[in-house]
Structure 1
Amino acid sequence: MLSMGGNEVDEAVASVVALLRPAVDRDWAEINAGRLEWSCRRTAEHVASDLIAYAGQLAGRAKSAYVPFQITIDGRENGLGPADNEGILDVITATGALLTAAVRTAPRDARGFHPYPFRSANREGFAAMGIAEVLLHADDMAEGLGLSYEPPAHLAEFVLTRIFPHVQPGPDHWQTLLWATGRANLPGRAPIAEWRWSNNHVLDTERLRLEGVNPAAAADLSAGGTGGFDWIEGGPFEGTREAAGLVTKAYEAGVHRPEFGLYVLVRREDDRAVGGMGFHGAPDEEGKAEVGYDLVEGARGNGYATEALRVLSEWALVRDDVRSLYATIEPDNAPSQAVIARAGFVPVSEELDDEGLQAYELRG
């Protein structure tokens, strides 16, 4: 079963607290955190601030901006004097617990504002971003304090498969994450100067949400799991599992473009998944991208595929890198032909292709 990230947030926070506790008698304010311009104290405060911010975004379901609050790590208002290093660790522990609670209690469809890159994140995304902040800045502080730090590999893998879908995985998940964030070199890969993580893409229709599938969910679907979705009876259908396998292969090859991957169609009224739709890959040099789709049998006949395909097509064809969409359909598949026609696609020719399929195209 796929983890939503609550346990991983707990584990990441415990790892940074265990790292820093032996150094609480050092002056963190006077020691730089590795290559950062921040001190170790400032970096630790930043970690706590991010953890509470992500908890607030998810718990408050912020729609268009960050929730306007911040924390100050200082005990003087309570007559305790300035917060010492032990106090900072207590704050990191507390804010980590708040993010864990927000992730564990948020419903599956909960989303909150985050700017990169599609203006929102789900509970897995906020968990992954929180874990990334903890792990990466723990490494920064460890370098400044002269400590050794390497988190459990599965924590780095959780981050990579949720918010770095565009990064080719490597044999060492931690070193790959460090490389992807400009903190390390990897043999055979150019150094990274600028980077941003990527939360999953979501498109809304009147009755559906098209939810982008990350590499972790794709691998689970391909292996026979649910991908973290609540499917209606009979789902997911075979075509969705095959598409998830294509996403997994593209991710492992380092050519996955997440917005041109697989989307699961989720009914907004009950949060049940009814099918899959998406692209066979990124647009080619001519700006042509292939689309495909299927529905669980119990969801057919309701116009879901047409509704979703229209919105996905509209999104794609306003992009500069997409000039046309095409699909291939078996000549005796009348229901699928009806869907493609209602979405505005037209036959490319009267002839079938080399595989005996009819090709359809929609131009921008």
Structure 2
Amino acid sequence: MRAMSGEHVTEAVAGCLELLREAVDRDWRSVRAGRVEWDCHTTAVHVADDLVAYAANLAGRARDAYVPFDLTLHEDTDNAGLLHVVETTGALLAAAVATAPPGVRAFHPHPFRSADREGFAAMGVAEVLLHTHDMAEGLGLAYEPPAELAESVLTSIFPHVQPGPEPWPTLLWATGRGELPGRDPVTEWRWYNNLVLPTERLTLTGIRPAAARDLALGGDGGFDWLGGAPEDGTRDSARMLVKAYEAGVHRPEFTSFALVRTEDGRAVGALGFHGAPDEEGRVEIGYNLGEAARGQGYATEALRALCGWALARDDVRTVYARARQANSPSHAVLVRAGFTPAGAIDDRLVAYELQ
């Protein structure tokens, strides 16, 4: 599966235009767009507005709010002209995504206040696919986008949604637009961009299910790894993430993180949670570094940042870790990060806790 890119945006917009041109001569203002409260004309304007807003935020590196401008159509703009606007704003977003460096993030309010180029591409594609569906439903047109587009959206910004039998019906269900056998209707929903935590020398970058799947299969997950490839432990944690995602129990804030070195953008290792906190507020954490990155304090720096973030939450009271008894460097890292020994687990492992 390809990471979300400008090509996905272009493909989604092209499918929208092809469909809506079938009804370009109809009065879109008099037709409600499916289950949303807008008419089809307002919905199409909304799509264009989101596309250009995402492009502007990413290209302008917006930090705390959307770039302060609005999209306004000329009063005499007809449906054909409106579709030209959708096409143009889609091209702007595709270009912004294609030219943004991998580590660049810009403002988006939900839920962690920022998104990267993949997130903006995924949000743009989601807006196009879902609102094209809405307009098609109102206009009585048949619409189903390519399955890969829907699956890419799900694995990028819906990491909390358990995959269904087919990606497109699952995305419709996840956004309150359809039903899935055995699942309750969705009445409120939100997408999730990945969480990113900066430290002095690193950026802890949340790994999405799509990237985790690639890592589990032997790929690089979209990261430039110091030494050419991630450690086996990183691939193991990626497999755990994929398993949780497929079971529908993955929490996007309690994920695995790539440790990306600020100075050169290379991933030096990974750390992350083994799942969400239990009922007592206890969450387990694990980590590993590439051999060339060891002995430089990266693991301690990353652990302090992630544990500090976790313990500031209301649902976390204790961070738990395990280390092999013979692995004295790992013991030292945990102690420097503030953990205290909590007893031997067996003849191989020792437990540590931070409260």
- TM-score where L is the length of structure 2: 0.98
- Aligned: 1:26 with 2:18: no
Report if aligned partners of 2:9, 2:90 keep a CA contact under 8 Å in 1: yes
1:18-97 alignment to 2 at 5 Å? 18-74=18-74, 82-97=76-91
Correspondence for 2:352 among 341, 344, 360: 360
Which amino acid is 1:228 matched to? G
Aligned to 1:79: none
CA distance in 1, matches of 2:309, 2:34: 42
Q: 1:140 to 1:362 in 2, by over 3 A?
A: same
**How many residues were matched structurally?**
355
CA apart distance, 1:7? 1.0
- Aligned: 1:273 with 2:267: yes
Report if aligned partners of 1:244, 1:262 keep a CA contact under 8 Å in 2: yes
Report if aligned partners of 1:2, 1:217 keep a CA contact under 8 Å in 2: no
Q: Please state whether the residue corresponding to 1:285 is helix, strand or coil.
A: coil
| Residues 150-202 of structure 1, C-alpha deviations (whole Å, 9 max, x = no match) | 10011110110000000001111000000000010111101111111000000
Aligned to 1:248: 242
Correspondence for 1:163 among 157, 177, 195: 157
Which amino acid is 2:200 matched to? E
Which amino acid is 1:72 matched to? T
| Residues 12-52 of structure 1, C-alpha deviations (whole Å, 9 max, x = no match) | 00001011001111011111111222110000010000000
Report if aligned partners of 1:2, 1:220 keep a CA contact under 8 Å in 2: no
| Residues 308-350 of structure 1, C-alpha deviations (whole Å, 9 max, x = no match) | 000111100111110101111111101111100000111112x
CA distance in 2, matches of 1:14, 1:131: 11
Which amino acid is 1:38 matched to? W
1:323-342 alignment to 2 at 5 Å? 323-342=317-336
CA distance in 1, matches of 2:238, 2:61: 28
Aligned to 1:192: 186
CA apart distance, 1:355? 6.2
Aligned to 2:7: 7
Aligned to 1:302: 296
CA distance in 2, matches of 1:355, 1:201: 36
Aligned to 1:263: 257
Q: Please state whether the residue corresponding to 1:348 is helix, strand or coil.
A: strand
- Aligned: 1:346 with 2:340: yes
Q: Please state whether the residue corresponding to 1:329 is helix, strand or coil.
A: strand
Q: Please state whether the residue corresponding to 1:292 is helix, strand or coil.
A: strand
Which amino acid is 2:70 matched to? Q
CA apart distance, 1:356? 2.3
Which amino acid is 1:329 matched to? A
| Residues 56-98 of structure 1, C-alpha deviations (whole Å, 9 max, x = no match) | 1111111111110111121x6xxxxx01111011111110000
CA distance in 1, matches of 2:16, 2:347: 56
Which amino acid is 1:202 matched to? V
- Structure 2's unaligned 5+ residue stretches are none
Which amino acid is 2:155 matched to? T
- Aligned: 1:314 with 2:308: yes
- Aligned: 1:205 with 2:207: no
Report if aligned partners of 1:43, 1:137 keep a CA contact under 8 Å in 2: yes
Report if aligned partners of 2:4, 2:156 keep a CA contact under 8 Å in 1: no
CA distance in 2, matches of 1:205, 1:151: 40
| Residues 287-315 of structure 1, C-alpha deviations (whole Å, 9 max, x = no match) | 11111000000011110000000011110
Report if aligned partners of 1:2, 1:227 keep a CA contact under 8 Å in 2: no
CA distance in 2, matches of 1:354, 1:282: 24
Which amino acid is 2:224 matched to? D
CA distance in 1, matches of 2:250, 2:347: 26
Correspondence for 1:290 among 274, 284, 290: 284
CA distance in 2, matches of 1:37, 1:243: 43
Identity %: 65
- TM-score where L is the length of structure 1: 0.96
Report if aligned partners of 2:3, 2:211 keep a CA contact under 8 Å in 1: no
Q: 1:160 to 1:152 in 2, by over 3 A?
A: same
CA apart distance, 1:235? 3.0
- Structure 1's unaligned 5+ residue stretches are 77-81
Alpha-carbon RMSD across the aligned residues, in angstroms, is 1.0
CA distance in 2, matches of 1:308, 1:235: 20
CA distance in 1, matches of 2:230, 2:163: 26
Which amino acid is 1:106 matched to? A
Which amino acid is 1:125 matched to? G
CA distance in 1, matches of 2:77, 2:347: 70
1:123-162 alignment to 2 at 5 Å? 123-162=117-156
Report if aligned partners of 1:4, 1:104 keep a CA contact under 8 Å in 2: no
- Aligned: 1:17 with 2:22: no
